[in-house]
């Protein structure tokens, strides 16, 4: 019995002196919802029409400068919708120009958003990977949207 106790004590002291380091490495693969190299050019393309329209309106009505192809484009957009009956605010083109910057913001946000599923905890993680072009497109889209809203409410 005495030997059993000493043997157990020896085993416990050996266990206490052992260096056990258990590390769990978990690798989480974070995948983008949309690829930034595809979403950023598409978002810039969506911003082209509202940006040209706003530049044409600002040049014609605020600065009183006449650049034929820019102001002609904005006048063409105003006169293109036959259902508007002269009211540009209620026309379909107006709604399209208002929605394009918002769609561009959503595209860029989906391109910088990363998602991952952690199986151990049954969690779903979202993170952002900021890039310069994504931030520039979001700010530009927001400014175009605000300028367009100012134009609509000033009419």
Query: Is residue 6 one of the residues assigned to a domain?
Result: no
Instruction: Calculate ∠ Cα 126-132-138, nearest 5°.
Output: 70
Q: What is the pLDDT of residues 72-102, one digit of tens each?
A: 877 777 777 656 555 555 567 777 778 888 8
Query: Is residue 98 one of the residues assigned to a domain?
Result: yes
| Number of CB atoms found within 10 A of residue 7's CB | 10
Residue 116 has pLDDT above 70, yes or no: yes
Q: pTM for this one?
A: 0.62
Residue 25: per-residue pLDDT: 47
Query: Is residue 13 one of the residues assigned to a domain?
Result: no
Residue 15 has pLDDT above 60, yes or no: yes
Residue 23 has pLDDT above 70, yes or no: no
DSSP 105-127: HHHHHHHHEEEEEETTTTEEEEE
Sheet of 31-32, strands arranged across: 31-32, 113-118, 123-128
**Pick the residue with more confidence: 148 or 136?**
136
Residue 42 has pLDDT above 80, yes or no: yes
Residue 150: per-residue pLDDT: 81
Domain range holding 40?
30-154
Query: Is residue 118 one of the residues assigned to a domain?
Result: yes
Confidence at 155, pLDDT banded by 50, 70, 90:
low
Query: Is residue 57 one of the residues assigned to a domain?
Result: yes
Q: What is the pLDDT of residues 45-75, one digit of tens each?
A: 888 888 888 888 777 777 888 788 877 877 7
Q: What percent of the chain has pLDDT over 90?
A: 0
Query: Is residue 14 one of the residues assigned to a domain?
Result: no
Query: Is residue 65 one of the residues assigned to a domain?
Result: yes
**Pick the residue with more confidence: 36 or 73?**
73
Mean pLDDT of 11-28: 59
Residue 24 has pLDDT above 60, yes or no: no
Query: Is residue 143 one of the residues assigned to a domain?
Result: yes
When divided into structural domains, the chain yields a total of 1
Using a CB cutoff of 8 Å and minimum separation of 24, what contacts does 91-99 make?
A: 94/152, 96/49, 97/49, 97/50, 97/53, 97/148, 98/50, 98/145, 98/148, 98/149, 98/152
């Amino acid at each position: 019995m005495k030997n059993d106790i000493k043997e157990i004590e020896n085993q416990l002291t050996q266990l206490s002196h052992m260096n056990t380091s258990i590390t769990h490495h978990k690798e989480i693969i974070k995948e983008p919802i949309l690829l930034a190299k595809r979403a950023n050019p598409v978002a810039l393309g969506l911003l082209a029409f509202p940006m040209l329209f706003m530049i044409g309106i600002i040049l014609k009505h605020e600065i009183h400068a006449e650049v034929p192809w820019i102001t002609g484009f904005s006048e063409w957009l105003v006169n293109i919708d036959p259902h508007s009956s002269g009211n540009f605010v209620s026309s379909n083109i107006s709604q399209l120009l208002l929605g394009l910057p918002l769609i561009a913001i959503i595209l860029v946000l989906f391109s910088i958003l990363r998602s991952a599923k952690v199986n151990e905890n049954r969690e779903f993680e979202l993170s952002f990977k900021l890039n310069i072009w994504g931030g520039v497109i979001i700010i530009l889209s927001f400014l175009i949207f605000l300028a367009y809203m100012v134009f609509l409410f000033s009419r």
